[in-house]
Chain A
Amino acid sequence: MTQAAITTTALTKRFGNFIATNAISFDVAQGEIFGFLGANGAGKTTAMRMLCGLLRPSSGEARVAGFDIYTQTEQIKQRIGYMSQKFSLYEDLTVKENIRFYGGIYGLSNSQIREKTADLLQRLSLEQEGNMLVRALPLGWKQKLAFSIAVIHDPSIVFLDEPTGGVDPITRRQFWDLIYESAAKGVTIFVTTHYMDEAEYCNRISIMVDGKIKALDTPAALKKQFGADTMNEVFLQLARAKS
C-alpha cells in the first residue's frame, strides 16, 4: 500500500482562457479506492482524461503506475483499464465477442481469452447469455459486463468515469461489490461519481470545485472536518462556498 499508483503535481489543463483543471496535486496509493467528486464541469473528466493519455496537460507533472504521462503513454496504456460515462460495449456484438475483442486488442492469447471468458461469465452468472447480443441485456448487466471487460487484462489501475449513471440502487450496490473484489486483488480504483452514497464506499475522496481540489481525505475525516452527518452535506457546503 505504500507505493503510489498515481501522483500528480500541479497538473493543469487550459482550453484557451478557460482553466479546466487548475494545478491539482494528489497521490493515490496502490490498491486504494479513490473517489473523485465534483459538480458537472468541475474538471473531473478533464483530469481523468489527462491521466489516461487522452489529453495532453498544459503544465504540471503526473506519473501513472510509475510512468510519466508525457513521454510514457504507451507503457501506461498497457497497465490501465478505462470505463467511460457512455456505455462502451458494442451492442451488435454478443457478450462473448465483446470479451474476445477487448481481450484481443489488449494482446491476450487465445487460451487466456478462453479462460477469462469462462471465468467472467461464471462470476457475473451470464453463462446462459454468452451468445446473446449485448443490446438485449438489461442496463445493469451491461454496466457490470463493461466493468469486467475494463479489467480483463488485469490492469494495475482502473479509471471509472461515472460508471453507475442511470442504474438502480440495487444494481449499483452489486456494481460496487465488483469494485471491492478488484480492489481486494490489489487493483487501484480511480472513480468519479455524482452519487454521495457511493462516495462513502471509497477509501479516500477528493472534491473538486472550479478546477481546484477543495477537500481530500477519508469520508469519515471529511465529515468531521465539515461538521456534517453525511457526504451530501459536505459536498453542498463546498459547492455553495463557491457562489
Chain B
Amino acid sequence: MKQFFEFVKKECFHIFRDRRTLIILFGMPVVLIVLFGFAITNEIRHARIAVLDYSQDALSHGLVSKITASTYFDLAENLRSEKEILPAFKKGDIRMVIVIPNGFSRDFIRERKAAIQLLTDASDPNTATTLINYANAIIGQYQQEQTHLQHLPLTIHPEVRMVYNPMLKSVFLFVPGVMTLILMLVCAMMTSITITREKELGTMEILLVSPLRPVLIIAGKVVPYVLLSFFISIIILCLGTWIFGMPVKGSILLLLSACGLFCLTALSLGILISSLTNSQQTAMMISMMGLLLPTILLSGFVYPIESMPVPLQIVSNILPAKWFIIILKDIMLKGSGLPQIALPMGILAGMTCFFLIVSLSKFKIRLS
C-alpha cells in the first residue's frame, strides 16, 4: 500500500509541475463553458429586419411594432418598393423582410382574411427557420389580440409549451456536452499520454522490473486523474448552475455517481489507447481523432442524432459520450431517477468493463 501511495504522490508531482497540463486541466473547462454559454449559441436575439409596408394603416403599424418590440427582432430599415428587397439582403445584415400588402386592415376586417409575406435569408437555413417560427408566433398573438377573442371559424390554435427547457436556452444543451468533452479530454487523453510518456522515457521498463505489480502501476497512474476529473466535473456543474442557471432536478448523488462512472469509462479508454502505442504523439492523435472529434460531432452535443444519416446514427451508439449526455440531460433537466437511466448507465458500465479487459490482456501480452 505504501508503494502505491508513493506512486500516486510521484504522479501528482508530474501533474502539478507541468504548467501546460495544469492549463489544460483547469483553464479548458472554464473557457469552454463560458465560450459555449455566452458566445456560441443557436438562440437568436436582435435579428435585423426590414419592413415594406404598402398599407400604412393602424393595423399594419401595430403589427410591425409588436414584432420589433420583442427582443428577437430589431427594425433596421423601412423599404419603399420591392426593388429594394434584394439589395437589402445583399448588404448582408438584414435577416428577414416583412411585406405588408395594400389594404391590409381592410382585408382583415371585412374579409376576415389578410396576407402578409415573410422573406428570409436562407443561406443560413437554421436561422431562417427559427426566424420564421418566432415571427409566426408573434403574428399569431397579434391576430388573437385584434380579433378580441372572437370565435374565428375553423381555426386550430396550437398552444405550445416547451417542457424541461421553457426558455429554450441552448446552454442547457451545452453544459452536458462540454462536461462530456472535458472529461473525455482529461481522462482519456491525459491518461494515455501519461502512460506512453513513461514508455517513451524508459522509466516504464524500470517500473516493470521493480516488484510493483503492473496493475498497481496502471492504477497509480490513473488514480490522480480520477480525482482530478471528478473535481473538474464538479467545477463545471457549479459554473453551469450558478452562472447559467442550469437546473439539477434529479438527485445530486445520482448525478455525481454518473459522472464517476463516465470518468472510469474514459479512463479505461485512455488505458486502452496507451496499450496500443508507445509514443505520446500517437496517443494524442488517437485521442484527438478517435475520441474528441466523434464526441463533438456525433454524440448529439452539437448536431441532433435524429437528423444524421442512419449509418452515423448506428455509429453514435458506440460512443460513450452519447449515453453520458443522455444521462446528464435526464437527471438535470427531467429529474429522472435511477430506473429511467438504468439502460444508459448499464451500457457505460459494460463499455468500461470491455475496455479494461481488452487493455489488461494487451498489457499482459506485452509483458510476457
**CB contact between B3 and one of A53, A55, A74, A105 (< 8 Å): that residue:** A105
Stretch in A22-30, A88-96, A117-125, A196-204 touching the partner: A88-96
Q: Which B167-210 residues have a C-beta within 8 angstroms of A?
A: 201-203, 205-210
A86 at the interface (CB under 8 A from B): yes
A223 at the interface (CB under 8 A from B): no
A20 at the interface (CB under 8 A from B): no
Q: Which B1-50 residues have a C-beta within 8 angstroms of A?
A: 2-3, 5-7, 9-10, 13-14, 17-18
Q: Give bound CA distance, A87 to B10, whole Å.
A: 17
Contacts of A101 in B (CB 8 A): 6-7, 9-10
- Tell whether, in the assembled complex, residue A87 and residue B202 are in contact, meaning their CB atoms are under 8 Å apart: yes
Q: Give bound CA distance, A110 to B212, whole Å.
A: 17
| Residue with the highest number of chain B CB atoms closer than 10 Å, among A54, A82, A105 | A105
Contacts of B9 in A (CB 8 A): 101
Contacts of A87 in B (CB 8 A): 201-202
- Tell whether, in the assembled complex, residue A104 and residue B3 are in contact, meaning their CB atoms are under 8 Å apart: yes
- Tell whether, in the assembled complex, residue A93 and residue B10 are in contact, meaning their CB atoms are under 8 Å apart: yes
Q: Give bound CA distance, A107 to B6, whole Å.
A: 10
Residues A52 and B209 in contact in the complex (CB < 8 Å), given A88-B202, A104-B3, A107-B2: yes
- Tell whether, in the assembled complex, residue B211 and residue A97 are in contact, meaning their CB atoms are under 8 Å apart: no
Tell me the nearest residue of chain B to A108, going by C-beta. B2
- Tell whether, in the assembled complex, residue B6 and residue A105 are in contact, meaning their CB atoms are under 8 Å apart: yes
- Tell whether, in the assembled complex, residue B3 and residue A88 are in contact, meaning their CB atoms are under 8 Å apart: no
Contacts of A102 in B (CB 8 A): 206, 210
Residues A77 and B210 in contact in the complex (CB < 8 Å), given A54-B367, A92-B17: yes
* Contact string against B for A residues 181-200, beta-carbon threshold 8 Å, 1 for contact and 0 otherwise: 00000000000000000000
B368 at the interface (CB under 8 A from A): yes
Tell me the nearest residue of chain A to B10, going by C-beta. A101
Taking the nearest CB of chain A, how far is it from the CB of B201, in angstroms? 7
Contacts of A86 in B (CB 8 A): 201-202, 205
**CB contact between A88 and one of B17, B203, B367 (< 8 Å): that residue:** B203
Q: Give bound CA distance, A85 to B205, whole Å.
A: 10
**9 contacts across the A-B interface (CB closer than 8 A):** A52-B209, A54-B205, A88-B203, A88-B205, A90-B13, A92-B13, A93-B13, A97-B10, A105-B210
A8 at the interface (CB under 8 A from B): no
Taking the nearest CB of chain B, how far is it from the CB of A174, in angstroms? 22
- Tell whether, in the assembled complex, residue B205 and residue A105 are in contact, meaning their CB atoms are under 8 Å apart: no
Residues A74 and B14 in contact in the complex (CB < 8 Å), given A54-B367, A82-B206, A104-B3: no
Chain B residues with a Cβ closer than 8 Å to the other chain, count = 24
Where chain B touches its partner, the secondary structure class is: helix
- Tell whether, in the assembled complex, residue A105 and residue B202 are in contact, meaning their CB atoms are under 8 Å apart: no
Contacts of B205 in A (CB 8 A): 54, 82, 84, 86, 88
* Contact string against A for B residues 136-156, beta-carbon threshold 8 Å, 1 for contact and 0 otherwise: 000000000000000000000
Apart from the given pairs A77-B210, A105-B210, 7 other A-B contacts in the complex at a CB distance below 8 Å:
A56-B368, A84-B206, A88-B202, A88-B203, A90-B10, A92-B17, A104-B7
Tell me the nearest residue of chain B to A94, going by C-beta. B13
| Residue with the highest number of chain A CB atoms closer than 10 Å, among B2, B3, B6, B202 | B6
**CB contact between B209 and one of A53, A89, A100 (< 8 Å): that residue:** A53
Contacts of B18 in A (CB 8 A): 92
- Tell whether, in the assembled complex, residue B212 and residue A105 are in contact, meaning their CB atoms are under 8 Å apart: yes
Q: Give bound CA distance, A100 to B7, whole Å.
A: 10
Contacts of B10 in A (CB 8 A): 90, 93, 97, 101
Taking the nearest CB of chain B, how far is it from the CB of A130, in angstroms? 15
- Tell whether, in the assembled complex, residue B13 and residue A97 are in contact, meaning their CB atoms are under 8 Å apart: yes
- Tell whether, in the assembled complex, residue B202 and residue A85 are in contact, meaning their CB atoms are under 8 Å apart: yes
Q: Give bound CA distance, A105 to B207, whole Å.
A: 9
Q: Give bound CA distance, A175 to B310, whole Å.
A: 66
Contacts of B6 in A (CB 8 A): 100-101, 104-105
- Tell whether, in the assembled complex, residue A106 and residue B201 are in contact, meaning their CB atoms are under 8 Å apart: no
**CB contact between A107 and one of B13, B17, B211 (< 8 Å): that residue:** B211
Taking the nearest CB of chain A, how far is it from the CB of B5, in angstroms? 8
Q: Give bound CA distance, A86 to B278, whole Å.
A: 15
* Contact string against B for A residues 157-190, beta-carbon threshold 8 Å, 1 for contact and 0 otherwise: 0000000000000000000000000000000000
A232 at the interface (CB under 8 A from B): no
Taking the nearest CB of chain B, how far is it from the CB of A166, in angstroms? 14
Tell me the nearest residue of chain B to A133, going by C-beta. B17
Q: Which 6 A-B pairs have the closest CB atoms?
A: A86-B202, A104-B6, A82-B209, A56-B368, A77-B211, A88-B206
- Tell whether, in the assembled complex, residue A104 and residue B2 are in contact, meaning their CB atoms are under 8 Å apart: yes
Residues A105 and B7 in contact in the complex (CB < 8 Å), given A56-B368, A86-B201, A92-B17: yes
- Tell whether, in the assembled complex, residue A106 and residue B202 are in contact, meaning their CB atoms are under 8 Å apart: no
Residues A106 and B13 in contact in the complex (CB < 8 Å), given A86-B201, A88-B202: no
Tell me the nearest residue of chain A to B18, going by C-beta. A92
Tell me the nearest residue of chain A to B16, going by C-beta. A92
Q: Give bound CA distance, A80 to B6, whole Å.
A: 20
- Tell whether, in the assembled complex, residue A90 and residue B203 are in contact, meaning their CB atoms are under 8 Å apart: yes
